[in-house]
A = this chain, B = another copy of it.
Amino acid sequence: MVKYSSRTLNRTFAALADPTRRLLLAHLARGERCVTDLARPHAMSLPAVSKHLRVLEKAGLLRRRRYGRVHEMQLDAKPLKQAAKWVEEYRKFWEGSLDRLAVYLEKTNKAVAKKGNK
């Protein structure tokens, strides 16, 4: 068993739950970018993107450095490591999904038989 910080997982998964933020991370994965560059491909205002970046920052998924008026963002994937570990705990369950389906169908049939029909 791995030890997880609940708050960290909350923030990490919540940050990943938004498609704009996942795209921002993907862009960051291709190098540091300033806010304006990161915002350009998104059909939304700059303040909206700024907010998304702050969410990612609070989740520890990016670091910010200021060079004059320009804020340079850098991906920090470390929180994803914990998230990945958490998800991996369930790997055996999706890998065994066919066996599980068989059990499911068997049980269903029993239940149907018990009720007489449908």
Contact = CB atoms under 8 A, between A and B. Distances in A.
A78 B104 CA distance: 15
A18 B10 contact: yes
A92 to B, nearest CB: 8
A11 B111 CA distance: 31
A22 B29 CA distance: 28
Interface residues of A, number: 38
A44 interface: no
A89 B80 CA distance: 10
**Chain A at the B interface: SS class:** helix
Closest 3 CB pairs of A and B: A77-B93, A13-B17, A77-B94
A76 interface: yes
Interface of A: 6, 9-10, 13-14, 16-19, 22, 25, 29, 63, 65, 67, 74-78, 80-81, 83-84, 86-91, 93-94, 97, 100, 104, 107-108, 111
B111 A94 contact: no
Contact of A80 (B75, B76, B94): B94
B90 A76 contact: no
